Amino acid sequence: MKVLIPIKRVPDTDQKIQVKPDGSGIVTDGLPFVINPFDAIAVEEALRIREKSTDTVEVLAASIGPEVCEQQLRTALAMGADNATLIQCDASLDPWNVACVLRAFAGRYQPDLILMGKQGVDDDLSQTGQMLAALLDWPQATFASKIEFLGSGLRVTRETDAGLEIVRVTLPAVVTADLRLNEPRYASMTSIMKARKKTIERITTTELGVTIEPRLQLLGLEAVPSRRKSVRVGSLDELLVKLRAEEKLL
Amino acid sequence: MNETNNNTADVIIIGGGVAGLSTAMQLAMRGQRVIVLERQRLGCGSSGRAAGLLGQLRGTAEHTRMLADGLEIVMELEKRAGVEIYVKTGSLRIAETPERAQEIQELVAMGKSIGFNIDHISIAETARRLPYMKTDDLIEACYSPTDGHLQPAELVSAYHKVGKGLGVRYEINCPVEQVIIQGGQVKGVKTPRGEFHAPVVVNAAGPWSYLVADLAKETLPTAAIGHYYLTTRPDPDHPVDRLSPAVRNRHHRLYTRPESGGLIVGIYEDEPVEYDMEKLPKDFDMSAMKAGRDNLNVALLIHLTQQRFPWINERTPMTISTGIMTFTPDGKGLCGPLPEVQGLFHCSCCSGHGIMQSPIVGKVMADLILDGKTKYDLEFMEADRFHDVPGYQERADIKRKCYEMYASYYGQVEKANVVVKH
C-alpha cells in the first residue's frame, strides 16, 4: 500500500506575524517556517498505519514549492517517511493549483491513500483536500479524528460542529487530518541522521504537465488591530455597569 | 510633577526577570525608590522558561549557606504574597559508574561537614521512591530532604506583588537603548519612553546583559546558550507524585522533577546551541521559542531521558520547552560592579540557576548597593573576577569559554572537598 502525504511549508504561527506595509503578503525575514502542523499529524498517522499493517506500506511525503521546502521534507523523513519528492514550483499557488498538481502527481505515483492536513495554518482555506478528491473522483473524508481499516476501505470518524460523524470510504481515498487524530512524534537521533543523507526526488510542475493558472487573486492583507485591553474595576457593580452600558454584552 | 521628577528614582533596574525583580523588592524593603524597566513583559525571558530546580549543595560551603538563607526569604515571600513557591520534594543524586559514585561520596562528606541535611540512600529505597525510574544499574545514591524546586511563575508574581506593595514602579515594553554616563558615573538610561534618571543602575538583563554592559563600554564575560527540557503529560501507567524527589543523573547529563502529574527532564548536552543576542530581532520573544520535530538537541534529550526513564520515547505525549540560558566561564553568576563605571551594578548570568539563586541574590545586591558590602563571602560570584584576566576580554574567547563550561557542566566529574577556598 502506498500513502501520499502532501506537505505544506508554513510560517510558525506562534510567532508574531507582520503584514507588509503594502498588504501584498507577510514579512518573512527572520520568520521560522515549519511543516504545517496538520500535515505533521497526517505524517504521524501514516507512520502508525505502516507500523500496524501486516502489508508493506510506503509513506511518501511531497511538497510543492521552491527549494526551501526541502527543510520540511527532511522533517517528514526524520519523523519516518520512507521517501520524499519536491515538486519544484516558484509560482504562488492557490488551492486549485495545488489540487491540480497533486492530481497529476497522484497519477504518476498511484497512491492508495492521500492523507493530508485539513488546512494550512497560514491561510486556513481548507479547500485543497476537497478539490483534490473531486479532481481524482475519489471518495473523501475530511476532518478525521480517527481512522480505522475495515475490509478494503476505511472507517473514518469526523469532527463536525454537530458532533462526531462516522463515514466509510473505499480506497483510494483522500482523508484530511484534524487536530485530535494523533500527537505527532519527535524524530530520533538515528532517523534525523538517516534523513539528512536521503535523496529527495525532484520533479517540476511542467514535467507533470500542469499549467499554473490561479483562480484566486489576493487583493490585500490587513492586520486586525488588537482590541485586547484590560481595566481594573473596583467592584462587581462597576463591572456589571461596564458590561451592560459600555460593552453591551449583557 | 514634571517628567524629570516622574522618571527619577534611587535605583533603576534593567530587566524584569527574577534577578531584577528580587533586587527591586529587596531595595524597596530598605526604603529605596525603584523603577524596573522591562523590554517586554515581567518574567517572559529565561525566568519564564526555567525548570526552577533548587539544589542547595554547591561547590562551596558559602554558596550552600546563601541558598539556605535564600529559602528563608522564599518562606517569607510565600506568606506575604499568599502563593506556594517552594515545593519541597527532596532531591536525589544517582550514580551508575565508580567515578560518579565517588563523586556522590565526596559530596555527602562535604555536605555533612557543613551541617547540610544529606545522606546516602539505598538503591532499594531509591526504587521505592521513584517507581517510574530505572534503578537496576545504579550503584550509589544520596538524598537531600530539604531540596526541591521553586515554581518560577509563582516566584515572579510574588516578587512583583510584594514589590508593588512597597512602591516599586514597573515599566513594561520599555527596552533600554542607552546607558547615560557622565564623568564615569552612571546617571540613568534612555528608552523609547524617555530618559530615566538614578545614581544607581542595575543590569539584570539576563542573556542581554552583555549587550547592556556594552552600552556602558564594559565587558561582561557571559554568553547566551540554548537549553531544552521536556515535560511529559500525566500518564496513568507511570504516575509521578507531585512530591517525587528531583533527580540529578550526571552520567546521563540529566535532571528531573515532577510537574503537574508528569515529569520534567532536562539535559546539559555537550553540543549546545549558541545565540548572539544582538542578531535576534528587536522584538524577539523567548516565550515563543519552539523546537522542531527533527531538532537534534531534542532527539538527544529524549534519547538520554529514555536511558533512565525507559517509558519515555519520541512518541510520548510531551511538551518541549526551549529557552536561553546565560552562562559564564565558570558557571557562577556575576554580581556587583565593574571598575569602569561608578553606580552601574551587574546582577545576572546565573548559568541556569537563576530561579533558585534569585531570592538571596536580590538581598546581596541590595546590600552591595546600599552598604557597599555583604555578610557573605561573595568572591566566587563577584562581577569583576574576570576583569583584566587575559583570555577573558574578547567576545569570541568569552563565548568559547562559556560554551565549554555549559558543555562540560554535567560531563565533568565534580570534585567536592570538605573545605573549599578559592
How do residues B141-170 score in pLDDT, each as one tens digit? 999 999 999 999 999 999 999 999 999 999
Chain B contact for A40 (CB, 8 A cutoff): yes
Digit-coded pLDDT (tens) for B324-362? 999 999 999 999 999 999 999 999 888 889 999 999 999
Spatial contact of B313 and B193, defined as CB atoms under 8 Å apart: no
Instruction: Count how many domains chain A has.
Output: 1
Name the band, by pLDDT with cuts 50, 70 and 90, for residue B4.
very low
CATH architecture of B3-52+152-220+330-385: 3-Layer(bba) Sandwich (3.50)
| CA–CA dist A47, A183 (Å, integer) | 12
Whether the CB-CB separation of A71 and A195 falls below 8 Å is answered with no
Interface check A118 vs B, CB under 8 A = no
Q: What is the CATH number of the domain that holds A231?
A: 3.40.50.620
A188 contacts B299? CB cut-off 8 A = yes
Range of the domain at A121: 2-246
Q: How far is CA A4 from the centre of its chain?
A: 13
Structure confidence at residue A68 as a pLDDT band (50, 70, 90): very high
Long-range Cβ contact pairs of B128-132 (< 8 A, separation 24 or more): B129/B92, B129/B244, B129/B245, B130/B92, B130/B244, B130/B245, B130/B247, B132/B238, B132/B239, B132/B240, B132/B244, B132/B263, B132/B309, B132/B311
B299:A192 CB<8 A: yes
- pLDDT given at position B328: 93
Interface of B with A (CB under 8 A): 281, 283, 285, 288, 290, 292-296, 298-300, 302-303, 314-315, 317, 320
Q: Do B292 and A188 touch (CB under 8 A)?
A: no
Instruction: Say what the pLDDT of residue B422 is.
Output: 36
Q: How crowded is residue A164: how many other Cβ atoms within 10 Å of its Cβ? A: 10
Chain A residues whose CB is inside 8 A of the B288 CB are 14-16
Answer whether residue B421 shows pLDDT above 50: no
Query: Is A79 close to B299, i.e. CB distance below 8 A?
Result: no
Using pLDDT thresholds of 50, 70 and 90, give the confidence band for residue A242: confident
Question: Can you tell me the ipTM of this complex?
Answer: 0.87
Is B315–A185 a contact, with Cβ atoms under 8 angstroms apart? Answer: yes
Average pLDDT of span A167-182: 97
Beta bridge partners of B182: B185
Kindly determine whether residue B281 and residue A185, on different chains, have CB atoms separated by under 8 Å. Answer: no
Instruction: Enumerate residues 6+ apart whose C-beta is below 8 A from A230.
Output: none
Residue B420 has pLDDT above 50, yes or no: no
> How far B335 CA lies from chain A's nearest CA (Å)?
33
Residues in chain B with CB shorter than 8 Å from the CB of A187 are 293-294, 299, 314
Nearest CA of chain B to the CA of A109: how many Å?
A: 26
**Residues A5-26, mean pLDDT to the nearest whole number:** 92
Hey, how many other C-beta atoms are within 10 angstroms of the C-beta on B394?
10
Does pLDDT of B49 surpass 50?
A: yes
- Arithmetic mean of pLDDT, B69-82: 96
Beta strands in B85-173 (DSSP E): 86-87, 91-95, 119-120, 140-144, 148-150, 169-171
Closest CA to B188 of B23, B6, B336: B6
Query: Å from A189 to nearest chain B CA?
Result: 5
The C-alpha atoms of residue B349 and residue B334 are separated, in whole angstroms, by: 6
Write out chain B residues lying below 8 Å of A181, CB-based.
none
Nearest-CA distance A244 → chain B (Å): 31
A41 to chain B: closest CA residue? B293
pLDDT value of residue B414: 67
Among the partner-chain residues B281, B293, B299, the one whose CB lies closest to the CB of A189 is B299
CA distance A139 to chain B (A): 31
Is residue B419 over pLDDT 50?
no
- Chain B residues whose CB is inside 8 A of the A12 CB are 290
On chain A, the residues whose CB falls within 8 A of the CB of B290 are 12, 14, 32, 34
Whether A51 and chain B come into contact, CB under 8 Å, resolves to no
Of A14, A30, A75, the CB nearest to B294: A75
pLDDT at B2 over 60: no
Q: Within chain A, what is the greatest distance between any pair of CA atoms?
A: 70
Check B293 against A185: CB less than 8 A apart: yes
